Each structure stands twice: as C-alpha cells, then as structure tokens.
Structure 1
Amino acid sequence: MLQHIEEACSLGAHAAVIVPPTWIIHVRRPQTSLKSSKKKKRTSFKRKSSKKGAEEAKWKPFIVRPIPSQLMKPLLVFVNPKSGGNQGAKIIQSFMWYLNPRQVFDLSQGGPREGLEMYRRVHNLRILACGGDGTVGWILSMLDQLQLNPQPAVAVLPLGTGNDLARTLNWGGGYTDEPVSKILSHVEDGNIVQLDRWNLIVQPNPEATLSELPLDVFNNYFSLGFDAHVTLEFHESREANPEKFNSRFRNKMFYAGTAFSDFLMGSSKDLAKHIKVVCDGTDLTSKVQELKLQCLVFLNIPRYCAGTMPWGNPSEHHDFEPQRHDDGCIEVIGFTMTSLATLQVGGHGERLNQCREVTLTTYKSIPMQVDGEPCRLAPSIIRISLRNQANMVQKTKRRTSIPLLNDQQPVPERLRIRVSRISMHDYEALHYDKEKLKEACESLSIPLGLIVIPGDSDLETCRTHIERLQEVRVPQGIYGAKLKTLSSQKLSPKWCFLDFAQFGCSEHRGLDCDLHSSQEHLNYVTEISQDELFILDPELIITETVGTSPGMPDLVDRSGEFPASNGTHRVFLQLKELHKLGADLAVQDSSGCTLLHHAVDAGSKEIVKYIIDNTSTDILDVADKESGETVLHKAASLCQRTICHYLVEAGASLMKTDLQGDTPKHRAEKAKDPELAAYLENRQHYQMIQREDQETAV
C-alpha cells in the first residue's frame, strides 16, 4: 500500500522484545587492493587458501549496534530442533515470523556462541531456550565462558522429556502448541530469579585410575546408584540400536523393564558399602549404610524425574528448611527401591542433609548421572561446591500485559468464582462480537455453581472443581458418604472455557483457538477472571418447560415461567428507577417480609438478581415473623430452581430452619421436587467442604 510506505513501523504488540531492523548492520566483505592481490598470485596455493580461511573465520556478515531503552527487553531465541520429537523444527519458523529473523538461532547450526557474541552488548537482554533441560544447561555454560556482564536472564520453552527445570520455573512439563504470541508475552512479563549452579570436581581415588563425568557443572541434580544405572542401560542400548528407540512409549517400557531387572538382580543393593559421604564436614556414611540406601540424589531444584518432588513437604520435618533453587544449599536425598517406587504417587525420599559442600568418595565403579547424562565412574573423589548463580526468567502467576483484568490488584490467596455455562446456540448467535457475547453470557448463561480455589490455580485445576459441582454426597450410614452424579443434564466432555481476554476472530470457538484443554495446565485462572467463569457446552440443550426436560436441566423453574415476562419486567424497570432515586431495597413490611420475599413470591428472577447484587447479604437470611421462613425456604417451596441457585451462591444459609424445623432442603422435599432437594443437599455438603478447606488453610 503506497500510502503506508512512509509510515514508521511500531513493531506491533511485542515491540518490547523485538530487535529493530535498524540495530542490524550488514558488513560488506573487505575488498583487497590490486597490489595485495598481485602479491597473492606469487604465493603458493596452500598458503593462499589457509590465509583466506583465517580471514573468513574472523569476518561476520552482521553486527548489532543497539540503542538502549529502559522499556525494551530484546529477546534471543535459541531453538534445539531435535528436542521433543522434532517440535523445535516446527516452531522456529513461527518465531521468525513474530520476531526479527536475526534474533532467532538454530542450535544445530553451530550452537549458541555466535548469537551470544553478536548480542553481547545489548542492554536488558533476555534469552528463550527452546529445548530440554540439557539445552538450558548448554546455554548457561556458554554464558559462563563468554562472561557476559550483566548476564542475560534465561526463559524456557520446554521441548524435552523431563523438563524439571522448566516445571520449577512455572513453564510447564512440555510444549502443547501454545500460541507463540502468548509465549512472548510470558517471557516479557516474567520475573527474574536466581538459580544455583554447582561445580563437580573429580579427583582420582589413590587406588584407581581417573575417569571423567560427562559434565563438570549441574543445574538440576547429580545422582548415583539405581536411577543412574537404569538411565545408563537405556543410553547404551539406544546408542547400539537407535532404530529401536524412536517411540516415547517404547522408551518408557524399556525404562520400566530395565528397572525391574535391576531390582531382581540387586545391582545397586550394596551401594552404601562402597561410598563415603561428607556434607559440610558431617559424615553421613553410617546413616546411608543403616538405611540401606540404593540411590543418592544431590538435588538443586524441587523437581526430579519428570516432575516428582523427592524432597517432599518440608513441614513434615522441622530439621530442614523448605527447598529453594537460590539459597546456595543443595539437598541430599536417599532412596531405597520402595521409596523410589512411591515417587510417582506423591512419595518422597529420605532427607539426609541440606549443605553447601559435599565430598563423595567411591571405592568401586558406580553408575552416575549429571542432569540426565549418565556414565560409569571409576573409584573417585568428587567434590560438589557452589559455582555461581544464573539469572532465569520465571513465568508469572498471571498475565500482566492484558489491561482487562485490572493488573494493579494482587491475586488473593483463595478465589471464589461463579461458574456459568452457555449453549452453542446462544454462542453462535453473537460469537462475531466479543462485547455483545460477554453481555449475552451475563444474561443468557445458566448458573452452574461456585468454586473456591487457591489464587494460583491453573485451568486444569479449575476443570476438576467445576466437574465436581455435579456430584452430590449421599449418606451411606456409618460408612461415610458416597459420590453420586445428579440425574440432571450433565456437562458434556467437550466443554471448554471462554476466554474474553484473548478472544479473536469469528471462527474461534471458546478456547479451541487459544487455551485448548491440552494447554489448561499452562494457564492460570486469573488470566481469564477472578470472580466469574463462563464455559461453552456444545451439547447443552435449552429447555424452557419442565415437561420436555428430564431431571433438572439448567435450573429452569417447574412453573416453566420465562424470567422476563411483560408484567414482572415492567415492575423490574420501575424498581431500578426507584433505586436510582434512593429507594431502600432492604425495606421490610409489618410481617417482617423483605422486598426479596415478595420478588421470590412473584417468581421474578430479574428482580431477585437485582436485589441480591445491590443490597447487603444480611437480607438473605431475614425470616418472616409468621412462618420463620427465609427467602430460600420460600423459593424451595415454590420449586424455583434458578432463584434457589442465585440465593445459594450469594451466601444464603442452607441450615437455617423455619418455625416448623424445616431447612430449605426439607421444603423442596415436601414440594415433591427431589432433584431440587438433591441440589440443595449437594450445595450444603459442598459448603461444608469449603469451610473445612478454609479452616485447614488458616
């Protein structure tokens, strides 16, 4: 478009991380003079080619000339195309599309040195390592060699298999097609934290010859014994027959088989007899032998072995501090075969020590591994000490770049979130307009319930709580309660969250375009809402009369009355006008009935909702002087399911009794609406569980 040629490019939404093209300077190849070229003709071919090769090695086609800015966080992206089943090869083009191609590097083409040297003078530089934990370690070691000051902070896009460091820094256990745009936002918004890095200095045992570890520094862990033996067997078998290890499932089966055979053979059974462990001057050898440990792990980060937490809950033992990756201490953990087996189901190892230095002496050849790289080390003396601290980018608990969520407010420890669902019919009518759809969701959605969750919960956790809303505990005598699903219309397995913060073009359906169910563990609930969630249920059937709906569909009143009939709607409009003029919505008549009692009696959902939203919650449990019934008693007697739901979620008491001793649930039973009674009983149990959770948290 000719009219736009002279306009300056703003670089778009990710301008803060994009390297402007004006920073990249193309350097022409130096031209030799005629005199020097004549001299070259007299030289031998061998000398000429070697000199030219040296010049080619020094000459770089591009240099970076940065213009520092406090608002910029220029990003370097290093992609390992072989990681994660070749996922790296698929995303490298996406990063080149969003960013300046000169800031995206393929690690298979010479490693990270060239990119780091080119950008070493760039202020406030950040790095995104796309690969496994080994890729991250490679980049951190190169940063050590180049001694960049200040050292750039490193974020992680997990493409490997274990990804324990990525989990520790909140980047998740694997990449699941999350949009590149969102990844860039997280890298930009992430907090900079410190990561301890540890030296491994190997000296020969005087009685043996020296052998080497595969790495002399580790970021995650160093271990010896059973786990290292299994990893070593796998690596040796894969190197001998690589064609047999092209499937992740086969690899896991091989691991399981190797672990079982090693268990039967007991190859690591006598580990404690052949080592000596000294931590900060304290000899732990006798304890290792007493516990008959078959594996020792020196752990720097909380995660190990694809997400397990071997240090466990530090509150269980007062002798140790909570584990941190930036405290200059390393955790020493021992395992027997039994404790290793329980890791995957939440178990932990034997906590031995938290220390700053370790001296490990081995008296026989023992399998070891350093950040997943195995070897069999001859008898040696290994010293572990703190090397330095690396700057890392930790993914924040919430998206800070979207103004929709009022970012100035801190995330509370616990969230009370209303959940409502919308049908595909209503969604498709307004999916072309985000604002209209949001308004429609507020008026047309069907209330599902209330969930109480920790403030840093991800959407996967929310999904679990939402699906529990349809379960009711049915008393089973002295044997406790039994979970039973209500006979009402259940959520379909295909339901998904509606994300208005990232809502896009018309073909987008819910979060299929953005936060698909496979990506829910990567996104926090606060990225969507802190008070109300809308979910799209493609199989939800809207029924307005009870005769055509089995069970308890969508909390429709048994009367089948439409919520905004002409009469009640006029009253509703008049009520709003009077309230604007200063009318008191909490007024009571001579019998003690509130305006809310009369709204329930009239069956007007609009008026009930308006009063609830605009008055104190104290009005909910006001009792009629004649019968002692609250508004919830009255709504239950009239089988007004939606109104009951409004009142319950607003905080109305489910345990309050009238003058006859009936609770709202008893009123629903007397009205012969067993499903409404089951719903009220379900909410009663759910509120009790929530109260117990809150008391436990306190």
Structure 2
Amino acid sequence: MYKFVFLINPISGGGQGKMIHQFLPEIMASMNYTDDQWKAEFTNIDGLEKQISDALANTEKLVAVGGDGTVSSVLSVMVSSEYAKSVKIGLIPLGTGNDLARVLNLYKPYVDKGLLFLVRRLLQAKARPFDIWKVNGKIAFANYFSGGIDARIAHDFNHARAVGEFNSNSVIVNKLHYVKSFFADRSYHLKKGKLSFVDAEGRSWQKILDGHRTVIVGNIPSFASGANPFYKSDMADRLLEIVCVPNMFMFLLAIAVGTVPVVGNFVKKHFLKTHKARSIELEFADDEFLQLDGEDLSGKLGGHVKIDFACQVQIMALGE
C-alpha cells in the first residue's frame, strides 16, 4: 500500500506533466519519502479506468496531475467503487481552466511559487468533504455542466485542437483560442430547452429555456477559468446551483463581476437569480452543445440530462 500515487496526464499544460514526472523523485526524497511509499505513472487513455481502479486499491492518497478532465476521470471511477470514503484525492493543476484547483486554493500557489512549494503543501494538506454528482446515472460531475454558447465554445476549441488547427502546447495559446471561439460563436443560443428541478425544500419547479444563451449548473464557485456566476455556492451541501442566462448581457455580466465582492453577490442574487437544487432534469435538442467540467459531451447524452447526487469524497485543499 502506497501513501501516494500520482497519475500524470502527459499532455496537460502543454506537456508539463512530463516535467513533473521527471522532478518528483527529487521532491519526494527531499521530504523523506522512500521509493516504496509512493509511485508516479502517466495516464494511459486506452486503459484509464482500470489504471485508476488499480491506483485507488493501492494507495491512501491519489494525486491527479493534469486539468479538470483528469481529476474528473478519477472521480468517475470513485463513484462506482468502494474507495470514496477511504482514499483522499489531490490535484496538481495543469489544465487550461483549472476551476477545481482554484476553489481548492491550489492554482495560485502553483503559479506564484512553483511545483516544489505546491507538492510540499499538498502532501501535508487536510482533506475536506466534496460533493460528487452523476449525470444520467454514470458520468461523474464535479465542477459544472452547461448547455448553450459556452458549451459551443468548448466544442469548437476541442475540435480545433484535435485536428491540429493550433499548437496546444501552451496554456496561453489555448486561452487565446478560447477567446477567438467566443467571438466566432457569440450569436449562438439554445435551440430548445426545459429545466425541471427539486429545490432545497423539496419543491418541484420548471422553466422553459428556449432561446436562452446558456444554462449553467454548478457544484463549485468557479466557472470558465475563475468566473463565479453562482450565489453562495457550497461544495459540500448536497445542492447544486443553477443559473439560466437569457441574453448576452447577462452572460458577460456573470463572467465579469461574479467574483467582485458585494457587487458580484448583488448581481447574482437579483439579476442572475441562482436556483439551488437537490436534483435536476434538462431537456435539450438532440444535437445541442453540452459540456461537463470543460469536456465536450455534445452528441453523447441525447436530449435528456438527469443530474443526481452520487456521494461525497475527501479532497485535499489548502487554506486561504
């Protein structure tokens, strides 16, 4: 049984995962961990589920090194296993958005003080409870889900990267391409949409979303690389936040002022009007653009999306 297993996505962050793999032995030795107390391996996309299952069965703490998609893959396996309560999860952020790392206070220390500082702090960090949800009974949902303009942007970005339209070995280049995709897709809106949810008090609600720019469902107080359109979000209250965005002004408002103290909360409470929900069902056109935790799910879920609570895990976080 290892104290730590590091699963490293070799292509995240423009290939920074390979550099981290190279320096980990030196870092772990400096903290007096012996070779039999930890191991590190690159993720293997072809056998990823088994690789994660094997890692969970043989460690006390599993550290995902990559973007939000990497940790989401780990959590998807945890949801259907017995390890949710026994194995703690850590994250070293290498992705483009890194929203989960931001709310766990892992992203800024990594950017400001480097890998050695973050690894030292992370391996000594306390774990906190964290809600995990299931989409259509099988896909783990940790950060946020959305359908509409932002999902269209994510789809176009992922497609362009897959066909080699730009060099993805740079976080800055990735973000610039997101901006380019936004301006190309700025007129997009939902073809059709219907939201049904059960609120915190157990009451049922419905809302028609035809023509809306997007609907965003959040589990964490961060969206699209650090914006926060959600009012009083809590990552361990077994509730989701829903924001329905009818027009481009509201979409830009959510991105621009969501993190501003006082003003941001006023806008979120009185204009964006966050709904809190125990469970959610969404109806879309079958070909609607959808994304989950930054990953493109367009065409993979059909027109019906059901989101339910799955479990709580223990995830390592740093203090403010």
Deviation per CA, 1:502-521: give whole Å up to 9, x if none: xxxxxxxxxxxxxxxxxxxx
Query: Structure 1 residue 221: deviation in Å?
Result: 0.7
Cross-structure match for 1:117 = 54
Cross-structure match for 2:21 = 92
Change (3 A) 1:121 1:172: closer
Residues 158-557 of structure 1 correspond to what in structure 2 (within 5 A)?
158-173=93-108, 175-176=110-111, 178=113, 181-201=116-136, 216-263=139-186, 266-268=187-189, 271=190, 274-280=192-198, 282-286=204-208, 288=209, 293-311=212-230, 314=231, 322-335=232-245, 336-347=247-258, 350-377=272-299, 380-397=303-320
What secondary structure is seen at the aligned counterpart in 1 of 2:297? Answer: strand
Change (3 A) 1:101 1:87: farther
Task: Please give the alpha-carbon distance, in whole angstroms, between the structure 2 residues aligned to 1:158 and 1:267.
Answer: 30
Deviation per CA, 1:311-338: give whole Å up to 9, x if none: 1xx4xxxxxxx21011000000122211
Write the letter of the residue equivalent to 1:305.
Answer: A
Deviation per CA, 1:156-209: give whole Å up to 9, x if none: 11111111111111112583384655334422432221111111118xxxxxxx
Contact 2:14 2:169 in 1 (8 A): no
What secondary structure is seen at the aligned counterpart in 2 of 1:129? Answer: strand
Task: Please give the alpha-carbon distance, in whole angstroms, between the structure 2 residues aligned to 1:143 and 1:366.
Answer: 28
Task: Please give the alpha-carbon distance, in whole angstroms, between the structure 2 residues aligned to 1:94 and 1:249.
Answer: 23
Task: Please give the alpha-carbon distance, in whole angstroms, between the structure 1 residues aligned to 2:52 and 2:132.
Answer: 23
1:148 paired to 2:90 = no
Contact 1:95 1:104 in 2 (8 A): no
Deviation per CA, 1:639-668: give whole Å up to 9, x if none: xxxxxxxxxxxxxxxxxxxxxxxxxxxxxx
Task: Please give the alpha-carbon distance, in whole angstroms, between the structure 2 residues aligned to 1:372 and 1:100.
Answer: 36
Write the letter of the residue equivalent to 1:301.
Answer: I
Contact 2:135 2:308 in 1 (8 A): yes
Change (3 A) 1:389 1:118: closer
Task: Please give the alpha-carbon distance, in whole angstroms, between the structure 2 residues aligned to 1:216 and 1:362.
Answer: 18
Change (3 A) 1:147 1:83: same
Q: 1:138 aligns with which of 73, 78, 81?
A: 73
Structure whose residues are more often strand by fraction: 2
Task: Please give the alpha-carbon distance, in whole angstroms, between the structure 2 residues aligned to 1:381 and 1:194.
Answer: 29
Residues 7-156 of structure 1 correspond to what in structure 2 (within 5 A)?
64=1, 74-97=3-26, 98=28, 99-102=33-36, 103-109=38-44, 111=48, 113-114=50-51, 117=54, 120=57, 125-148=60-83, 150-156=85-91
**CA-atom RMSD in angstroms:** 2.9
Change (3 A) 1:107 1:351: farther
Write the letter of the residue equivalent to 2:244.
Answer: G
Task: Please give the alpha-carbon distance, in whole angstroms, between the structure 1 residues aligned to 2:43 and 2:57.
Answer: 21
Task: Give aligned-pair identity as a percent.
Answer: 24
Task: Please give the alpha-carbon distance, in whole angstroms, between the structure 1 residues aligned to 2:55 and 2:188.
Answer: 49
Contact 1:274 1:364 in 2 (8 A): no
| Length, aligned pairs only | 295
User: Structure 1 regions of 5+ residues with no counterpart?
Assistant: 1-63, 67-73, 203-214, 315-321, 398-698
Cross-structure match for 1:404 = none
Deviation per CA, 1:384-443: give whole Å up to 9, x if none: 11011111011134xxxxxxxxxxxxxxxxxxxxxxxxxxxxxxxxxxxxxxxxxxxxxx
User: Structure 2 regions of 5+ residues with no counterpart?
Assistant: 259-266
Task: Please give the alpha-carbon distance, in whole angstroms, between the structure 2 residues aligned to 1:242 and 1:261.
Answer: 15
Contact 1:163 1:173 in 2 (8 A): no
What secondary structure is seen at the aligned counterpart in 2 of 1:136? Answer: helix
Contact 2:109 2:117 in 1 (8 A): no
Deviation per CA, 1:17-59: give whole Å up to 9, x if none: xxxxxxxxxxxxxxxxxxxxxxxxxxxxxxxxxxxxxxxxxxx
Residues 538-687 of structure 1 correspond to what in structure 2 (within 5 A)?
none
Task: Please give the alpha-carbon distance, in whole angstroms, between the structure 2 residues aligned to 1:255 and 1:88.
Answer: 22
Point out the structure with max Rg over C-alpha: 1
What secondary structure is seen at the aligned counterpart in 1 of 2:238? Answer: coil
Task: Please give the alpha-carbon distance, in whole angstroms, between the structure 2 residues aligned to 1:241 and 1:230.
Answer: 17
What secondary structure is seen at the aligned counterpart in 2 of 1:284? Answer: strand
Query: Structure 1 residue 90: deviation in Å?
Result: 1.0
Query: Structure 1 residue 277: deviation in Å?
Result: 0.8
Task: Please give the alpha-carbon distance, in whole angstroms, between the structure 2 residues aligned to 1:196 and 1:141.
Answer: 12
Task: Please give the alpha-carbon distance, in whole angstroms, between the structure 2 residues aligned to 1:262 and 1:149.
Answer: 39
Which TM-score applies when normalising by structure 1? 0.39
Task: Please give the alpha-carbon distance, in whole angstroms, between the structure 2 residues aligned to 1:117 and 1:174.
Answer: 30
Task: Please give the alpha-carbon distance, in whole angstroms, between the structure 1 residues aligned to 2:319 and 2:109.
Answer: 17
Task: Please give the alpha-carbon distance, in whole angstroms, between the structure 2 residues aligned to 1:302 and 1:278.
Answer: 22
Change (3 A) 1:89 1:247: closer
Query: Structure 1 residue 111: deviation in Å?
Result: 4.2
Query: Structure 1 residue 358: deviation in Å?
Result: 0.8
Q: Which has the higher contact order (CA 8 A, sep 6+)?
A: 2
Task: Please give the alpha-carbon distance, in whole angstroms, between the structure 2 residues aligned to 1:149 and 1:294.
Answer: 36
Contact 2:241 2:277 in 1 (8 A): yes
What secondary structure is seen at the aligned counterpart in 1 of 2:273? Answer: strand
Contact 2:5 2:55 in 1 (8 A): no
Task: Please give the alpha-carbon distance, in whole angstroms, between the structure 2 residues aligned to 1:310 and 1:352.
Answer: 8
Change (3 A) 1:341 1:92: same
Query: Structure 1 residue 126: deviation in Å?
Result: 2.0
Write the letter of the residue equivalent to 1:388.
Answer: C
After TM superposition, the runs of 4+ consecutive aligned structure 1 residues lying more than 6 A away are none
Task: Please give the alpha-carbon distance, in whole angstroms, between the structure 2 residues aligned to 1:380 and 1:118.
Answer: 35
Change (3 A) 1:76 1:178: farther
